Amino acid sequence: NREFNSVTPENEMKIDATEPQQNQFTFGNADRIVNHALGRGMKVRGHTLAWHSQQPGWMQNMSGSALRSAMLNHVTRVATYYRGKIDSWDVVNEAFADGSSGARRDSNLQRTGNDWIEAAFRAARAADPGAKLCYNDYNTDDWTHAKTQAVYNMVRDFKTRGVPIDCVGLQSHFNSGSPYPGNYRTTLSSFAALGVDVQITELDIEGSGTSQATAYRNVVNDCLAVARCTGITVWGIRDTDSWRASGTPLLFDGNGNKKPA
Ligand code: G2I
């Protein structure tokens, strides 16, 4: 409450959490977060409407037109339920493959047809016209990576053809194997130049002390330098609650005390 003006549910809006049985929606845990945030004037980032991972069992077993319909129904129902309460939605999460291919990630959703992503964005726009609609991914921070270029080309194509997209989320999970790239600001400004906002959506940086603080400073300065960089979300508050707890990647230690970062 003291340190943040925006909040994101780490797991509570995922497909398995909000639609555990087909057409039976459960919003209790997500509502607690949304109500807490809105009651204090904080914004909410919604995460996430369509994703190959964390699908409930019933969806994992679907394919083809039945899965396409179920996915669109999910997007519509969840975005409609939260209409007017979400600042930005991660409409589609992690749809591109890692490595040098620049291809889409294979998944049951991808196998419903290459247009599944734009279909999800159109459904989200119809359900909540006021929410900013984002494409969110990881390993898209380094401007030279094939995956970054592939997402950039998709967003450019969407803007050209009028597919409703407002923002790109860079997850920005950094560690020694995937460090803060020196061209990060170029990545942010290049996406922004397509006419979308850029948001840093899941920031964490493994390390400690001064070097960790320097990396955090670099990320923040890069965002501040790009007018359309409109938000920085850290992927947790205390190190001990992080999905990468052993890497102590967050801004507060296990006692909730501020770190140098
Ligand atoms: O994997 C790191 C992040 C990559 N980008 C998308 C994010 O949504 C993702 O977040 C992580 C959460 O931080 C984890 O907390 O996504 C994982 C998978 O959804 C989350 O892990 C899940 C476990 O898989 C569940 O077994 C567990 O019940 O966390 C749940 C709650 O602790």
- The binding-site residues of ligand 1, defined as CB within 6 angstroms of any ligand atom, are 10-11, 14, 54, 93, 138, 171, 202, 243
pLDDT for the residue 194: 98
Among protein residues, the one whose CA lies closest to atom 18 of ligand 1: 54
Is 206 a catalytic site residue? no
Q: Which residues of the chain have pLDDT under 70?
A: none
Query: Angle, to 10 degrees, between the axis of helix 184-192 and the axis of helix 146-161?
Result: 10
pLDDT for the residue 200: 99
Question: Using one digit for the tens of pLDDT, what is the confidence trace for 114-169?
Answer: 999 999 999 999 999 999 999 999 999 999 999 999 999 999 999 999 999 999 99
Among protein residues, the one whose CA lies closest to atom 20 of ligand 1: 11
Centre of ligand 1 to C-alpha 135, Å, is 18
Pairing between β-strand 132-137 and β-strand 88-93 as defined by DSSP bridges? parallel
Centre of ligand 1 to C-alpha 161, Å, is 33
Could you tell me if 97 and 105 are in contact, meaning their C-beta atoms sit under 8 angstroms apart? yes
pLDDT for the residue 245: 98
Quick one: which atom of ligand 1 is closest to the CA of 242? 13
Centre of ligand 1 to C-alpha 242, Å, is 10
Q: Which residues pair with 115 in a beta bridge?
A: none
